Amino acid sequence: MRLLRYFALLVYLSFHTAYAQGYPERTLNLVVPFPPGGSADAVARPIAEKLGAILGKPVVVENRGGANTTIGALNVAQAPADGYRLFLMPGTHVLNPRLMKSVPFDPIGDFTPVSMIASTPYVLFAARNLPFDTLQGMIDYARANPGEVSVGTTDALGKMASARLARVADVQLVEVSYKGAPQLTSDVMGGHLAMGINTPVVVRGLHDEGSVRALAITGTQTVETLKGVPTAAQVLGEPGYDFYTWFALAGPAGLPPEVVSKLEQAMSQILRDPDIRQRLIAFGMTPAEDTTPAYASKLMQNYMEEMGKLVEAAGITPQ
């Protein structure tokens, strides 16, 4: 019996080693759980290009937005665990059980973490036709005009940041949900929406050209490419005001360790590339220094617990 187990183990190891040596043999798909045009796309496309160059096969970005990112996530969770369908996992993915009454997968258990990519705060930005250009100015205006200041969000983190801001500043903000960044930013630029919350990559160019006004960063540190824009924590005097997300590369549960290793080595090379690092920094993001699956797994778990507490504190109930 012991000999049979040893033989079976040898067969298993030989098969997976041979599979990894030949991987990949065809095009890979990188599923982005958002519509085109947002921060996730800005991360996915240069990463996919570099990853394809290293692996020797094309990596095609596939946008599958909707339902709090669960449409794209489910597509990956149900895919064969062969490394040909990968997932650009956003931080909000692991919060879905606290935001939705029914989630058709385990956001951690049904996925294999490969590598962390980058983290990013959000930016609160406002229309140009309003009589304020700072966060404190917005607070004063909202107090004087209850119910007249709307704020658009595209995901759970934006909703949480908005709810916490309203509570700490003791103002009434009318929250409006959007499916993606393009429509949200268009409505702020057109003056149909007072404010929006989204990532620096979406806001920076519009702020620089004067189409919108960046009021505050939702993280604990300012953003290099949005000089002069303070953190909300500084303005509010609330050190605990810290809303950020991240992007990671993942696959379905059960990816062969050899495939995970090959992908992680490629990601480590990519995130050391000066061009990629500069791009991510220009997007207002912080490139990951630790690209190991173990680190990604730990961050996913910690983030789920940390931000989960903020979901409860914001009074957000599963929908």
180: confidence class by pLDDT, cuts 50, 70, 90: confident
Over residues 54-75, the mean pLDDT reads 95
pLDDT at residue 293, as a whole number: 98
165: confidence class by pLDDT, cuts 50, 70, 90: very high
CATH 3.40.190.150 fits 2-121+245-313, yes or no: yes
Over residues 67-71, the mean pLDDT reads 91
Domain ranges of the chain: 2-121+245-313, 123-236
Residue 145 has pLDDT above 70, yes or no: yes
More confident residue, 35 or 268: 268
d(CA 266, CA 260): 10
pLDDT at residue 12, as a whole number: 43
* 95 Cβ contact partners less than 8 Å away, ≥ 6 residues apart: 107, 156, 304, 307, 308, 311
Over residues 244-255, the mean pLDDT reads 97
Torsion, Cα 13 85 38 280, to 10 degrees, reads 30
DSSP state of 158: H
pLDDT at residue 90, as a whole number: 95
Residue 146 has pLDDT above 90, yes or no: yes
| % of the chain exceeding 90 in pLDDT | 78
pLDDT tens track for 274-288: 999 999 999 999 999
d(CA 126, CA 189): 8
Residue 291 has pLDDT above 80, yes or no: yes
Does 2-121+245-313 match 123-236 in CATH topology?
yes
pLDDT at residue 8, as a whole number: 42
d(CA 43, CA 116): 12
Over residues 191-220, the mean pLDDT reads 95
Residue 186 has pLDDT above 50, yes or no: yes
More confident residue, 66 or 106: 106
Q: Which pTM was predicted?
A: 0.85
Over residues 142-156, the mean pLDDT reads 93
Over residues 149-157, the mean pLDDT reads 91
For 123-236, which CATH superfamily applies?
A: Periplasmic binding protein-like II (3.40.190.10)
Averaged pLDDT score across all residues of the chain: 91
d(CA 192, CA 15): 59
138 closest CA partner among 100, 175, 90, 170: 170
157: confidence class by pLDDT, cuts 50, 70, 90: confident
pLDDT tens track for 32-54: 998 888 889 999 999 999 999 99
**Number of C-beta neighbours around residue 32 at 10 A:** 25
pLDDT tens track for 94-137: 999 988 899 999 999 999 999 999 999 999 999 999 999 999 99
